Amino acid sequence: MHKVLTEISQKKKQAKETHEYTFGDDLMDIGENREDDVEDISIPLQRNEKSKGKRKVVEGIDNYFAPRTTTGSQPSIKSVLAGKEAIKKAHMAWARWFYDACIPFNALQSHYFQLALDATSAIGPIFKGPSYGDVRINLLRNCKKECQLLIDGYRKKMGE
């Protein structure tokens, strides 16, 4: 049995040597062991496409960083200047309103002034100010109710 196995292995070696020689691989000696000279090099492939099944998705590192310049990432000089001009225009409108209505300047230091501006800007440009009748009747009545509830709360605490 041992002889048969050695004969088969020798036939395979001879066939391999003649096969390599016939395809023009005559630069190397046939007797050399070529498997020692061959090195396996594995290069990881970078793919941006998703693989099928349960395999991991191989993606490039570019997906983890934002691009350097995107549309809208930096305002243009024209839009910055227009923004400054719009702010200046709004300030002038407020100043003219204060002068025309004879509102004292210390009203600007009121906490409620900034709250009113924030509430108005939250609604946006569609907001129109309250009318004369609303401020004089309805809103005044609501503020009076708030004050009455506050006073009643203080009276209960003082009475205890």
Is 86 contained in some domain? yes
For residue 62, give the DSSP letter.
G
**Phi, then psi, of 122 in degrees rounded to 5:** -65, -35
Report pLDDT digits (tens) over 70-113: 666 676 777 667 788 888 888 899 999 999 999 999 999 999 99
Is 104 contained in some domain? yes
Of 68 and 90, the one with more pLDDT: 90
**The token pair that represents 35 in the structure block:** 């498997």
In angstroms and rounded to an integer, the radius of gyration of the C-alpha atoms of the chain is 43
- The whole-number average pLDDT for the span 1-21 is 80
Phi-psi bin for 68: left (phi > 0), alpha (psi -120 to 50), beta? Answer: alpha
Is 38 contained in some domain? no
Is 145 contained in some domain? yes
Q: Is the dihedral of CA 103, 105, 106, 111 positive or negative?
A: positive
**The token pair that represents 21 in the structure block:** 């020689």
Is 122 contained in some domain? no
Neighbours of 30 (CB within 10 A): 14
User: Residue for token digits 């004089």?
Assistant: 136
Is 126 contained in some domain? no
* Number of domain units in the chain: 2
| Cα–Cα–Cα angle for 22, 28, 34, rounded to 5 degrees | 95
pLDDT value of position 67: 62
Is 125 contained in some domain? no
Structural domain span for residue 95: 79-109
- The whole-number average pLDDT for the span 6-35 is 67
**Phi, then psi, of 137 in degrees rounded to 5:** -115, -70
**pTM exceeds 0.85:** no
Is 116 contained in some domain? no
Report pLDDT digits (tens) over 125-158: 888 888 999 999 999 999 999 999 999 999 999 9
User: Residue for token digits 């800007």?
Assistant: 121
DSSP code per residue over 101-135: HT--GGGGGSHHHHHHHHHHHHH-TT--PPPHHII
